[in-house]
Structures are given as C-alpha cells and as structure tokens.
Amino acid sequence: MTAVNYPDADYGDRVRRARRVMEEQGIEALLLSVGSDLPYLTGYEAMPLERLTMGVVTATEASLVVPQLEAPRVADRGVFEVVPWSETEDPIDLVRRLMGPARRAAIGAQTWAGFLVRLQQAMPEAVFSDATTVLRPLRIIKDADEIELLRRAGAAVDRVVARLRASSFGGKAEAELAREVMVMTVEEGHDAATFHIVAAGPNAASPHHEPGGRIITAGDCVVVDFGGRLGGYCSDTTRTFHVGEPSAEYSAAFGALQAAQTAGTAAAGPGVAAQEVDRAARRVLEEAGWGEWFIHRTGHGIGLDAHEDPYLVEGNAALLEPGMAFSIEPGVYVAGRWGMRIEDIVVCTAAGRDILNNSPRDLAIVD
Ligand code: ZN
Ligand code: ZN
C-alpha cells in the first residue's frame, strides 16, 4: 500500500467535534480501524493487515493502538496517545482496557469483521453501532484546505485528459491505455493512481468495466474514468472519446448526455435536495428518449474516499450545503453496443457551485 501524506489539519478540533456528536448520540467509545474515518481524526491510516490498528476515543481519552513494528510510521500530531502492542500482547484486551467502563461503542464500518467478532466476545455486554453516524456529519462538509486538495487533484486529472485528447488510441489494448492513464495520473501530481476504467466499443456499456485485452479500433467509443489521491483526497473524472467520427445516433445521444450533465450541475446548490440533482439530469435523458439506458445514480460524494456521502440519488431528500463535494456523472449505456459518460467533481458553495473539473466535456475525436 502507498503511504499517504495527510495534511496538517486541526485534528484536535475534529476530535472535539466527534465527541460532541458522540454525546448527542449516546456513544461512549469510538473505535476506528481500516478506512478513512481514522485518518480524518488522526492523520494516520491503518495498514489493512491482520495486526490490529485501532483508534479509541472516549469522552476523556484518545488513543491509537498500533502494532509495535508499525509505530515508527505514526506521525505524532499531539492529539492521540500512541499505544504500541508487541507481538505477544492481545490488542483486543488493550482496546477493552482503553475503553474503561464504556459499553456503547461505535465502530468504523470498514473494520474487519474478525476484529469486531473478537471485541464482541471479549465484551459480551457491549453494544456496537456503525461509526458512520458519528463521522458522516463531520466529513460531509469540507473545510477550505480539504477543498483546495480536491481542487488540485481535479486540476491534475484535467491535465491528464488534455494529454489523452492529443494522443492516439487506435491499436492499443484497453489495459495498455489504462496503464498509460495510471502513469500520467501520478506524473501530473497525484501521490497515487487509484483506479482507471478504459472501456471501448460495446465494453463501454458496462459502467465499471475492467480494462482488458480488447484492441481499440476505428469506430469505437472509449469511456475513460479515472482518478487518484493527492494529500489523501480523491480525484474522479470521466471523459468519452471516439476513434474517428461517430454515427449520427451516437452524436445525438452524446448531445443529450452533455445537456443532462449541464442540467445536473446547474441544479446543484445550497438548500437543494440531493435527489433534485439526479432528477434534473435524468429528466433531460428521459425527454431525449435515453432514460432507460441511464442505469445508475447521478453522483456520489468525494473526499478522503472516492465514494462517500452525499449520494445524488432518488430517495435522498437531504439538502446540499456549502462545503459538500460530489460527482455529477450521468451516462448512457446501450447493452452490447456502446456507452458514454461525463463526470465532474462539483463543490456546493454559498453562492451556488464550483466545478473542479474543467477539461472540455465534448466528445473528443481521436485517432
Ligand atoms: Zn468516475
Ligand atoms: Zn465517480
């Protein structure tokens, strides 16, 4: 795994705010392991390994239980007391002792089930809930430093798109182009490239296609959806390319898609229900006759995780607020034939919205 350099945020303030939410929700201990909740509070990301790493926050104490051999990786930010455990100690017992009398515990959603089972066996009287309820209200609103990292990550993927628009696709395998995208993602300033979808021709009808051996040829559409992490924060953009001129049908559908993406972006703003953004984009594709082929939600929140709250989906009536960051990414997928998607990251502001991806959104014609 690639070590991530988390920024120097005010972690003490984040812990204080988490404690306020814990108190409101009647939670006595917060237990965080693998996933982004722990680095959000500590600046340290647990290694996803069989040795337990766990942040333990109670009303008065904040401790970070780490395997002794990984303790040198922890940058001391003065908020958590680092508690290393040696190979012969039982880290579950250590967590139990750090919890003191606390028995109502919220545990990180991505903590390995095996650790939760061992905690439950060690404390049969404890009640565990999902810590997402504690961290969601904090993480969903990005501060100015977090938005700046999202903006820099967005600008970096835009530079990759510019390079892709000037390159030739024909004759390359999807997987080969995907590797090039990965390399460029790092060259343009990310700490790591994290995903890279390259889907050509009929494969483009599968939104999460795994790039494979298919050779890109004249007449193919190519959906490229990729991103990385910069200072812990994620980028995620999609642009659609076409090798040579598209058919009249494809052009018409792409025109509708672009209008849908613009409508979704225009709908986003403070006080707007998340589902209204989805409806605004979907309505355009429905009216153009492509609605049945738009088979996923319009967008997802983004931050330390590539997918997090808020989700722009029918049924989510929660109101958007300044500081929320999310994708707007409608697509059209005609099974067995072709696909297309356009995706930008957008931040809700007091005045409306700020678009963090600004590479051209038209259908890019390549060789
Ligand atoms: Zn994407
Ligand atoms: Zn996305």
Domains and CATH numbers, the chain: 11-139 (3.40.350.10), 144-366 (3.90.230.10)
> How far does the centroid of ligand 1 lie from the alpha carbon of residue 235, in Å?
8
Residue 12 pLDDT > 80: yes
> How far does the centroid of ligand 2 lie from the alpha carbon of residue 167, in Å?
24
Residue 1 pLDDT > 60: no
Relative to the alpha carbon of 297, which ligand is closest? 2
Relative to the alpha carbon of 223, which ligand is closest? 1
Q: How far is CA 348 from CA 147, 232, 345, in A?
A: 10, 20, 10
How many Cα atoms sit within 13 Å of 161 on the Cβ side?
Answer: 31
> How far does the centroid of ligand 2 lie from the alpha carbon of residue 12, in Å?
31
How far is Cα 328 from Cα 81, in angstroms, rounded to an integer?
40
State the burial class of residue 80 (Cβ atoms within 10 Å of its Cβ: 0-12, 13-18, 19+): buried
> How far does the centroid of ligand 2 lie from the alpha carbon of residue 229, in Å?
13
Q: Do 230 and 145 meet the contact criterion of CB atoms below 8 Å apart?
A: no
Q: Do 211 and 330 meet the contact criterion of CB atoms below 8 Å apart?
A: no
> How far does the centroid of ligand 1 lie from the alpha carbon of residue 331, in Å?
11
> How far does the centroid of ligand 2 lie from the alpha carbon of residue 235, in Å?
9
Q: What is the pLDDT of residues 106-121, one digit of tens each?
A: 999 999 999 999 999 9
Q: What is the pLDDT of residues 140-181, one digit of tens each?
A: 999 999 999 999 999 999 999 999 999 999 999 999 999 999
Relative to the alpha carbon of 208, which ligand is closest? 1
Residue 33 pLDDT > 80: yes
Relative to the alpha carbon of 227, which ligand is closest? 1
Q: Which helix (H) or strand (E) holds 134?
A: helix 132-139
Residue 2 pLDDT > 70: no
> Quick one: average pLDDT of 72-95?
94
Which residue did the predictor score with more confidence, 312 or 4? 312
Q: What average pLDDT does the chain have?
A: 96
- pLDDT of res. 99: 97
Relative to the alpha carbon of 207, which ligand is closest? 1
> How far does the centroid of ligand 2 lie from the alpha carbon of residue 342, in Å?
10
> How far does the centroid of ligand 1 lie from the alpha carbon of residue 229, in Å?
13
How far is Cα 180 from Cα 298, in angstroms, rounded to an integer?
27
Relative to the alpha carbon of 308, which ligand is closest? 2
Confidence of residue 362 (pLDDT cuts 50, 70, 90): very high
- pLDDT of res. 105: 98
- pLDDT of res. 3: 60
Question: Which residues are registered as beta bridge partners of 229?
Answer: 192, 234
> How far does the centroid of ligand 1 lie from the alpha carbon of residue 211, in Å?
14
> How far does the centroid of ligand 1 lie from the alpha carbon of residue 78, in Å?
36
> Quick one: average pLDDT of 347-367?
98
Mark the residues whose beta carbon lies below 5 A from ion ligand 1: 225, 236, 238, 343
User: For residue 314, which amino acid is it?
Assistant: E
> Quick one: average pLDDT of 185-208?
97
